Chains A and B, each alone.
Chain A
């Protein structure tokens, strides 16, 4: 088990380095320097700026400097928010994004598994069809369509809920963003759960359990649930990535001051270091959480470990 985890970890490191390298190269291959948009400056001042941001050094040197900083959690200065470092900007924005993401993930897992199980138990019933139609819609309709529609109907038209983040301080302001973020994942998890539950329910050991006269609730809970959850668990990696991507849109639409909003602002302002920092932050998060999911999967399903 330890060997398996270690091996997975060894694969995670080059992946992460690849992302950092690619992202770094992209930013530095950009046509024009980061300060070109402003007034033409005297060459001495330009040289001084280049020196202050270490832009006068060779690319490999800049990269090692950047990696060195990364190890200490330093992502360099922001090009646009002059008084802040990228790490400070991200650090201040993490708590609210984290809360949003964790709530959405929990909602997606609970509702998705429940809906999928119910649909599987009543296969081909009206309830099943309705649930799956909803799931297909949830998968197809992007977050940036769902979120504004939720605002339009529940905040602008009916005024039941606050439309924007700053307009309220109550916990209710989390409700619409969390729903918008969770909806596609609810749909995916429901479909996955239904498919794998149907497969598990058709297998021999479930028939044996039925033959022993166990009640169906107990069969589901003690026998079918664990194997049926394996595909759902392996979907957690992509789900995490999708929630992160979605949070960028949701935070922008609802005006939530999280990491995603800084990402969008940085992207539109061409704040290269900020965008680079957030890309690396997201990539690290995705790769780390994928690693944890992988190890968890190996823990639950011994077949994987011995491949």
Chain B
């Protein structure tokens, strides 16, 4: 039921708001090209070609975006990087969604002292520079995808927890929760089977706003050389590579940088647009 509500809500949002329509369209197009492109291109993202380094973007040899210092095709690498960036962002946002929703729903449903302590802890954690702990984590442990997902996801759950808590408090006074309690449904079951499904609309909006933050963190880590490792790549790693070559081959910097910027811009516009439609009272900060 709720899933249907969300789908119809999003399509209504797309009809009503031009920014939601345009940005959603661009993101879908980028995702589609990033997934299909590598299959169509004659080049692999791994193959090096020392006779074909620093080829400028041309149609010759089908190097649409040129090649890098090792002669690898930038078009395929950019698409692979885009894939990794989107994947990391979506999975990491899902992790933060799970943590945030569970935490917020439990605090809101429990109420009283438990709620007070849990939310004071969130306030205190706001002051905590998670990003530096994540960097430390990446320095100390062997870097793999799982660690990156969890580490990035663990950063962005605070806002989600606050919003979910607020919603839970208003939901738990509704009759269907009373009814569930009356027939003896245990609290954890009320939280996860009766309350959380009704949070979906708000949660979707805030996930859309969490995704660009997760992208920022991932590309920041990869830019520092602490995230995705060679030969895998992400947009942040590609920008990092481009910086060192920018005097000789500016396209190595410009193309991934512009793509990253476009993806982030679109997610932010999309999230803002959805929030204005779903939740008009929140000021669009």
Contact = CB atoms under 8 A, between A and B. Distances in A.
Task: Say whether A and B bind each other.
Answer: yes
Contacts of B212: 140
Nearest to A246: B220
A241 B223 CA distance: 18
Given A156-B247, A268-B225, A279 B136 contact: yes
Nearest to A198: B283
Interface residues of B, number: 49
A26 B127 contact: no
Given A156-B247, A191-B285, A30 B261 contact: no
Contact of A142 (B129, B132, B247, B260): B260
A140 B132 CA distance: 21
A267 to B, nearest CB: 5
Interface stretch (B29-37, B38-46, B236-244): B236-244
B82 to A, nearest CB: 14
A29 interface: yes
Interface in A91-141: 136-137, 139-141
A179 B285 CA distance: 22
Contact of A275 (B125, B136, B242): B136
Nearest to B212: A140
A249 B246 contact: no
Interface in A226-261: 231, 237-238, 241, 244-245, 248-249, 252-253
A162 interface: no
Contacts of A287: 127-128
A138 B184 CA distance: 52
Contact of A151 (B246, B254, B265, B272): B246
A49 interface: no
Given A192-B285, A283-B132, A140 B265 contact: yes
Interface string B92-129: 00000000000000000000000000001001111111
A18 interface: yes
Interface string B195-228: 0000000000000000010001001100111100
Nearest to B127: A290
The 5 closest A-B pairs by CB, nearest first: A140-B264, A290-B127, A140-B265, A30-B140, A145-B257
Contacts of A30: 140-141
B177 interface: no
Contact of A270 (B139, B242, B260): B139
Contacts of B125: 15
A140 B268 contact: yes
Given A142-B219, A144-B220, A19 B133 contact: yes
A144 B246 contact: no
Interface in A35-94: none
A136 B225 contact: no
A98 to B, nearest CB: 17
Nearest to B269: A136
B127 A140 contact: no
B142 interface: yes
Given A27-B140, A275-B136, A15 B268 contact: no
Interface residues of A, number: 58
Nearest to A199: B283
A304 interface: no
Contacts of A276: 136
A244 B131 CA distance: 10
A273 B104 CA distance: 36
Interface of B: 120, 123-129, 131-133, 135-142, 212, 216, 219-220, 223-226, 236, 239-240, 242-243, 246-247, 250, 253-254, 257, 260-261, 264-265, 267-269, 272, 283-285
Given A145-B260, A231-B285, 8 more contacts: A15-B127, A30-B140, A136-B268, A136-B269, A144-B223, A268-B226, A275-B135, A278-B132
Contacts of B142: 31
A18 B140 contact: no
A270 B212 CA distance: 29
B146 to A, nearest CB: 15
Contacts of A149: 253-254, 257
Contacts of B265: 136-137, 140-141
B251 to A, nearest CB: 11
Contacts of A268: 224-226
A6 interface: no
A152 interface: yes
Contact of A148 (B226, B253, B269): B253
A152 B257 CA distance: 12
A26 to B, nearest CB: 5
A1 B242 CA distance: 52
Nearest to B246: A152
Contacts of A263: 135
A257 to B, nearest CB: 17
Nearest to B235: A145
A194 B272 CA distance: 15
A144 B236 contact: yes
B132 A282 contact: yes
A264 interface: yes
A148 B136 contact: no
28 contacts: A11-B124, A15-B128, A26-B140, A27-B136, A27-B140, A30-B140, A139-B268, A140-B267, A141-B261, A142-B216, A142-B260, A144-B239, A144-B240, A145-B239, A148-B257, A151-B246, A196-B283, A237-B126, A237-B127, A245-B220, A252-B224, A253-B243, A264-B224, A266-B139, A279-B132, A283-B129, A286-B128, A287-B127
